[in-house]
Chain A
Amino acid sequence: MSTTTGQRADRPTGAVSTPPQPPGRRGRALPLPARNLLAAAAALALVTALLMVTGDLTALRLAAVGYTFLALAGLQLLVGGSGQVSLGHGAFMMIGAYSMALLVLHLPMLPLATNLLIVIAVSVIAGIAVGAATARLHGPYLAGATLILAVGLPGIAHRYHDLFGGSNGLNVRMAGAPPFLDGIVSTSQWQALVVWFTALLGLALLATVSAGRLGRRMRAIRDDETAAAMAGIPVGRTKVVAFVIASAAGGLAGGLQAYVLGTVTPSSFSLVLSLTLIAALVLGGIAGLWGALWAAFAVVYLEIWASELAETLNLGSDVQNNLPLVLFGVVLILVLRFWPLGVQGALQTLRARVRRS
């Protein structure tokens, strides 16, 4: 390392926003995976407590929040973390959901954990295929290519009717809670627990990747590909890895959705889902994993509130069907008008203001 005196002619630089931390501070902390697993365990305890005091209906809704959170966290790493805009995330959820349903239908003896691992493997393969094909595409071109995926994939379910059940999709019976928990937890509560356990494991991994060297490499590529390459970062490979991680998260989320709902249809993985996911992520805050949590609540609860509202107001079925989209759009516009960095951005600004005062 060379020493220099190159800064003497520079102007004074004003106030330093954060004092530099002593270099050893992070070194004494727990390793990243351990910290994230602890946080996931704490979150699981919180969710379990919440599930114990709520009814079946809320349990199902919380389960939906759980798998949507996982799917959105994967999308956040891809779009916010590596700068690759994907409009086809719903397609990966569809791949996971159909894999799950097909496994339960054709190999009913496999335990759930094995099914979930196979679902991840299938999604990884799909992610490699799509990621490798699109690694050289940027911005709108990549968005367009993934859009084609979201538009085209549901068509395959229609085309191969015998295997995928056409527009009626596949219906499967999922195993409920293990017998020794009979009378303690209901099926819905058990399913929500399984979803959150799996999702939080996945999220711990995503958070580790995001905060670690790989996440920093992705952010460097997002900010400046040429400079990242000249720093020795394999740009193409890293982008494919980001794509694969995102598709694995999306596929696993889809598998969990199939597990909870017991039914998969092509119409639930339409283009609207993919676009809703990316819009929700912008609403929640695309800069970090926390934004994905608020986004997941928005995706699940805005739709519920909209249909409840339509029912109370006794609106016609045409209005009722479209009200969720309208409500979502209005909320998105309002949030971005007042909090351009999404809900999480607003919370961070608030926290900074509280800390300063």
Chain B
Amino acid sequence: MTATAAGDLLEAEDITVRFGGLTALDAVGLDVAPRSVVGLIGPNGAGKTTLFNVLSGVLRPTEGTLTWKGVPVPARRAHHSARAGISRTFQGLNLFPQLTVLDNVVVGADRTARGGAFSLLTGLGHHHRDERLLRERALAALDSFGVAEHAHRLPSTLPYGLQKQVALARACVSDPELLLLDEPASGLSGDQVDALAEQIHTFSRDMAVVLVEHHMDLVMRVCDHIVVLDFGEVIATGTPEEIRADPAVTRAYLGNPAGDPSTEGPNADPDSGNGDTP
């Protein structure tokens, strides 16, 4: 069912994560093709965030293999995934509160600098040029996300919607090949969600996107492929149309065969316009 092909960017196979006696993920598989948009949905506690943490390298799976561009990924740390070309955003944004908006994004670009340990420790070598290029790159990213005028402010002084754009700029400034978005629509108003859908379409021209999202309208609109998790297991995968028609998904969401997953997410956000059926 999944679009497994030799050209997949990321392949997760039989990923199992146990926390003590609790099995958070049970033999979950996920394939991400280049420049595709994959949605990861499921009720609260289904294991979406755990899978996300595995994909981004924050969490090592108890069992299972991850393959990045055809090469098995060994046990690794989070910064290795970032350097390989995987970026992510966080549900809580996790901006650096005491760094300016510009510095937040410069940190996101840090991995593109050329200088090594010598330049880091002494400020010599590539350092001067690196700093200039990182700054230019970050300013360009801020500009394209519409927050350039706030470059020298602290993130907490911006409204939430703009903070989200800063977080996106930080994730995208290094031109990743895979972008993991953790609930990008939470807390956004209806037309902000429309704008986000446009943004995700734009991202998918350059990179693959995996998003965890409760906002069904958005998921159905932007995803090429959807994976539904429930109690740590994949209960359905397919195109948005297939998922919408899948009775197992409906049951998992509402415990009621008559319901429709797109009418009421379990985490429905009152001002996110969640009720729209596309």
Contact = CB atoms under 8 A, between A and B. Distances in A.
Interface of A: 1-11, 13, 16-21, 23, 26-27, 31-33, 36, 205, 208-209, 212-214, 216-217, 219-220, 222-224, 226-236, 241
A226 B91 CA distance: 13
A32 B127 contact: yes
B119 to A, nearest CB: 8
B166 to A, nearest CB: 11
Interface of B: 56, 58, 77-79, 81-83, 87-88, 90, 94-99, 103, 106-108, 110-111, 113, 115, 119-124, 127-128, 130-132, 134-136, 139-141, 144-153, 157-159, 161-162, 164-165, 168, 170, 172-175, 189, 191-192, 195-196, 198-199, 202-203, 205-206
A18 B152 contact: yes
A2 B146 contact: no
B145 A13 contact: no
A223 B99 contact: yes
The list of the 10 closest CB pairs from A to B, nearest first, reads A232-B111, A232-B82, A7-B146, A229-B78, A223-B96, A208-B123, A227-B94, A31-B128, A18-B152, A27-B132
A16 B152 CA distance: 9
A4 B198 contact: yes
B172 A1 contact: yes
Contacts of A33: 122-124
A17 B56 contact: no
A13 B150 contact: yes
28 contacts: A1-B141, A2-B144, A6-B168, A6-B195, A6-B199, A8-B195, A16-B152, A17-B152, A17-B157, A18-B153, A19-B152, A26-B135, A32-B131, A208-B123, A209-B120, A213-B110, A214-B121, A224-B96, A224-B97, A227-B96, A230-B81, A231-B110, A232-B82, A232-B111, A233-B82, A235-B77, A235-B78, A236-B77
Given A212-B123, A213-B110, A232-B110, A219 B198 contact: no
B191 A13 contact: no
B150 to A, nearest CB: 7
Contacts of B196: 6
Contacts of A222: 98
Contacts of B128: 31-32
Given A2-B144, A32-B128, 8 more contacts: A7-B165, A8-B191, A31-B123, A33-B122, A213-B131, A229-B58, A230-B87, A234-B77
Nearest to A235: B79
